Amino acid sequence: MIRGSTALVGIVGSPIAQVKSPENFNAWFAEHGQDLAMLPIDLQESSLDAFLATLRGWKNLRGCVVTVPYKQLLATRLDAVSERSTALRSVNVIRREADGRLVGDIVDGEGFLNAARRHAFEPGGKRALVVGSGGVGSAIAYSLCEGGVSRLAIADLSAERVESLCALLRRAFPAIEIGGGHASLADFDLVVNASPVGMGDSGELPLPESLLESLAKHCLVADVVTSPEITPLLAFARRMGCAVQSGPEMARAQLGNLGHFMGVTPLDI
């Protein structure tokens, strides 16, 4: 129940009715007896600056999750952002400091790694392929580099996006072998689909079957697509004997990263 004493967090975007974070966070707060609540905020773009001014002065607000379409627009308007948010020009979470300063980060990639660690995947020294170099793919690629992969390959329909993400990552992580091409998947320890391919009942695979047949059995195959939970890629990988990680696993793991950044949950929830 929301009381006069309840501290708040928000999730801002537009539209907002489809997001799952309020029910997930509010259920966790209730189960753990926390006097905290999350509010969904459907904001029009012309009110962004007024919204930020209100957040700075909102004394019982701890922070705010940021979703589509404001991840990029808010990245340049906060008082401080993480190195990866600066590089990726994107935030998905804001913390309000006690003095009202607003600090941002992007934890999509950390959420992905948080879920992957539950499959015993540690990125240090590993070889990874990320398919899709948009918002989520870039964040996952950046976190894999922060985690110390030895080699990172990136695939996307847009060669221009691949090239600009590779250039950004090579500047930030000069010791890592980063590139666009891959003739076989046999060498990879992780293959992740970070594109929307496989959503709904499309039945589509993000990579050709002939290439997927070269997956090694030790490879963790992951998908960011949340519906269906077992995408055509994950079903194929299971048939190849690989461990798989689903989109809902990433979304669930990321709750801890978002809550921890705002100071309202532990990292592992």
Binding site for ligand NAD (CB under 6 A): 108, 131-137, 155-158, 161, 194-197, 199, 206, 224-226, 247, 250-251, 254
Smallest distance from ligand NAD to CB 34, Å: 23
How far, in Å, are 120, 214, 232, 264 from residue 240 at the CA level? 19, 9, 12, 40
Smallest distance from ligand NAD to CB 67, Å: 8
Q: Which residues contact 42 (CB under 8 A, 6 or more apart)?
A: 13, 14, 15, 16, 17
- For ligand NAD, give the closer residue by CB, 7 or 243: 243
Nearest CA to 244 out of 229, 259, 255 is that of 229
- For ligand NAD, give the closer residue by CB, 91 or 225: 225
Nearest CA to 175 out of 152, 141, 143 is that of 152
User: With contact defined as beta carbons under 8 Å apart, do 97 and 161 qualify?
Assistant: no
Distance CA 53, CA 127 (A): 44
Q: Which residue is nearest to ligand NAD (CB)?
A: 134
How far, in Å, are 25, 54, 74 from residue 49 at the CA level? 26, 9, 9
Smallest distance from ligand NAD to CB 7, Å: 25
- For ligand NAD, give the closer residue by CB, 99 or 160: 160
Smallest distance from ligand NAD to CB 198, Å: 8
Instruction: Give the active site residues.
Output: 71
- For ligand NAD, give the closer residue by CB, 110 or 189: 110
